[in-house]
């Protein structure tokens, strides 16, 4: 019994903490989307997309509604360089920009990074639609099916979503031009797939390969930045 509790505690504790951070970030995203386009998802496509992400992550309905109608936050984009000259973009939502900048700068300094203008030139904005690994009928989505759906929907590329490491079956990531985002999402759903979210993101133009020691340092930096509650999206060009 003790051994079992130890295992549960060691697994459940970190997961609960990660889930709490995730809900905190989603709440900030809801508040900002509501400020920019109003609190009605039917009239605010950005808010509707964030609500969809919240539901996909099983965020309670009451928490979603409370976040939409609470105080709004500022949206900021920080540019940075990491170990080995890697490029980083940090999307931040905060009600205290000065505090957030100080916190992020401290994390970067501790792990071999620095704030750096110009890092965004290594990225391009793209529309990204994440689709569940199973279709609306509950059947697994094969790569062949995904490729056919991408062509029909007007997407430029499709690949597994490597960011969702906790999921046994990773979601599929469909990439398109930003102007086609909503249309691609609707076409994918019409083809029988299950969209989880649709958003404009920064994708690296090229990726850099770091030597082992530098890569380990970069991994520690990415982990530390991922633990910052104000950072809602973290983009990098590390292979």
How many Å apart are CA 15 and CA 21, to the nearest integer? Answer: 10
The contacts of residue 140 (CB under 8 Å, 6+ apart) are 133, 134, 169
What pLDDT is stored for residue 197 in this prediction?
85
* CATH code where residue 131 lies: 3.30.70.980
The pLDDT tens digits of the residues spanning 152-183 come to 999 999 999 877 555 567 899 999 999 999 99
How many Å apart are CA 30 and CA 77, to the nearest integer? Answer: 17
Within this chain, do residues 86 and 115 fall inside the same structural domain, yes or no? yes
Residue 176: what are its φ and ψ, rounded to 5°? -150, 175
Of the candidates 115, 111, 122, the residue with the CA atom closest to the CA atom of residue 87: 122
Within this chain, do residues 135 and 186 fall inside the same structural domain, yes or no? yes
Paired tokens of 181 = 């985002």
Of 69, 95, 110, which residue is a domain's last? 69
Within this chain, do residues 111 and 130 fall inside the same structural domain, yes or no? no
* CATH code where residue 21 lies: 1.10.10.200
Number of compact structural domains in the chain: 3
Within this chain, do residues 165 and 215 fall inside the same structural domain, yes or no? no
Within this chain, do residues 117 and 212 fall inside the same structural domain, yes or no? yes
Per the structure, the complete domain to which residue 15 belongs is given by 2-69
What pLDDT is stored for residue 71 in this prediction?
55
Higher pLDDT, 46 or 61: 61
Within this chain, do residues 127 and 196 fall inside the same structural domain, yes or no? yes
Within this chain, do residues 21 and 47 fall inside the same structural domain, yes or no? yes
Within this chain, do residues 140 and 188 fall inside the same structural domain, yes or no? yes
Within this chain, do residues 193 and 91 fall inside the same structural domain, yes or no? no
Within this chain, do residues 81 and 181 fall inside the same structural domain, yes or no? no
The pLDDT tens digits of the residues spanning 74-129 come to 789 999 999 999 999 999 988 789 999 999 999 999 999 999 999 999 999 999 99
Within this chain, do residues 181 and 213 fall inside the same structural domain, yes or no? no
How many Å apart are CA 206 and CA 123, to the nearest integer? Answer: 8
């Amino acid at each position: 019994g003790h051994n079992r509790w130890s295992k549960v505690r060691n697994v459940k504790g970190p997961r609960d903490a990660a889930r709490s951070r995730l809900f905190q970030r989603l709440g900030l995203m809801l508040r900002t989307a509501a400020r920019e386009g109003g609190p009605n998802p039917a009239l605010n496509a950005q808010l509707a997309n964030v609500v969809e992400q919240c539901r996909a992550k099983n965020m309670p309905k009451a928490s979603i509604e409370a976040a939409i109608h609470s105080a709004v936050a500022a949206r900021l984009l920080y540019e940075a360089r990491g170990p080995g000259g890697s490029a980083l973009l940090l999307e931040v939502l905060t009600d205290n920009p000065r505090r957030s900048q100080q916190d992020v700068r401290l994390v970067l300094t501790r792990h071999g990074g620095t704030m750096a203008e110009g890092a965004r030139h290594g990225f391009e904005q793209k529309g990204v639609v994440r689709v569940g690994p199973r279709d609306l009928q509950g059947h697994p989505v094969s790569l062949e099916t995904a490729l056919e759906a991408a062509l029909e929907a007007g997407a430029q590329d499709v690949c597994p979503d490597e960011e969702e490491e906790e999921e046994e079956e990773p979601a599929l990531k469909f990439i398109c031009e930003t102007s086609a985002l909503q249309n691609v999402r609707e076409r994918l759903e019409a083809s029988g797939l299950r969209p989880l979210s649709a958003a404009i993101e920064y994708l690296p133009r090229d990726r850099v390969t770091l030597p082992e020691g530098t890569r380990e340092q970069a991994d520690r930096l990415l982990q530390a930045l991922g633990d910052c509650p104000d950072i809602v999206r973290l983009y990098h060009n590390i292979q």
